[in-house]
Chains A and B, each alone.
Chain A
Amino acid sequence: KAGVTQTPRYLIKTRGQQVTLSCSPISGHRSVSWYQQTPGQGLQFLFEYFSETQRNKGNFPGRFSGRQFSNSRSEMNVSTLELGDSALYLCASSLGPGGGGTEAFFGQGTRLTVV
């Protein structure tokens, strides 16, 4: 059974640009949650999608957005990139809504560097 796939693995962008990250959940999983991981703040919740609907949103500015497609694949977009957006972006998939809890499986993440 394939795991959670995140693409690309690494990205370098310039301040002011925008970026789109992709997450393909485990087959059959309908919930995708996104997290930002930095050394200073640790893992912080961005948003959760279940059946193409955003269920929860973390405390991030509107520059961070996401969506989920009918096949459960999810994308997140960051516009007008800032240096502070440099981080490891992780997605987690689970069967049902609520972020998965004990049944959340993480991808390997996308390492975004903003220069």
Chain B
Amino acid sequence: QKEVEQDPGPLSVPEGAIVSLNCTYSNSAFQYFMWYRQYSRKGPELLMYTYSSGNKEDGRFTAQVDKSSKYISLFIRDSQPSDSATYLCAGYSGNTPLVFGKGTRLSVIA
């Protein structure tokens, strides 16, 4: 079992839809949970992160972590065509390398 599992999609939604992206993880040592966005032919860029369990909101984006079920979610409200990208979740224990999911490819259709 991979430490971080993520449905690769692809996921296609109409503009304005609410998007839900999800990951599960198995490593209980993870303290930080990150979401990266990667546009085609670009490197990943950090979108947001949460520490331990809970929610974090940043504009149209909300990240949720449920450590009891080892479940990570990213919600995108009012999705825009510019949100079309691959979204990668990652876990981080604090002193060891980032562990990534395989990424979910999202297309937002105008």
Which A residues have a C-beta under 8 Å from some C-beta of B?
4, 33, 35, 41-45, 48, 56, 58, 90, 92, 97-102, 104-109
- CB of B4 to closest CB in A, whole Å: 9
Interface residues of B in 86-110 (CB under 8 A from A): 88, 92, 94-103
- Asked if A101 contacts B45 (CB within 8 A), the reply is no
Interface residues of B in 4-25 (CB under 8 A from A): 6
- Asked if B92 contacts A101 (CB within 8 A), the reply is yes
- Which residue from B42, B94, B98, B99 sits with its C-beta under 8 Å from A108? B42
- CB of A109 to closest CB in B, whole Å: 5
- Asked if A98 contacts B43 (CB within 8 A), the reply is no
- CB of A88 to closest CB in B, whole Å: 9
Instruction: Compute how far the CA of A46 lies from the CA of B6 in the bound complex, rounded to whole angstroms.
Output: 20
- Asked if B44 contacts A42 (CB within 8 A), the reply is no
Q: Can you sample 22 A-B contacts with CB below 8 Å? A: A4-B43, A35-B100, A41-B102, A42-B100, A42-B102, A43-B44, A43-B88, A44-B100, A45-B98, A98-B94, A99-B92, A99-B96, A100-B98, A101-B34, A101-B98, A102-B46, A102-B49, A104-B46, A104-B98, A106-B36, A108-B42, A109-B43
Which B residues have a C-beta under 8 Å from some C-beta of A?
6, 32, 34, 36, 41-46, 49, 88, 92, 94-103
Instruction: Compute how far the CA of A47 lies from the CA of B42 in the bound complex, rounded to whole angstroms.
Output: 21
Instruction: Compute how far the CA of A35 lies from the CA of B99 in the bound complex, rounded to whole angstroms.
Output: 10
Instruction: Compute how far the CA of A58 lies from the CA of B3 in the bound complex, rounded to whole angstroms.
Output: 14
- Which residue from B6, B43, B97 sits with its C-beta under 8 Å from A99? B97
- Asked if A42 contacts B45 (CB within 8 A), the reply is no
Instruction: Compute how far the CA of A97 lies from the CA of B96 in the bound complex, rounded to whole angstroms.
Output: 9
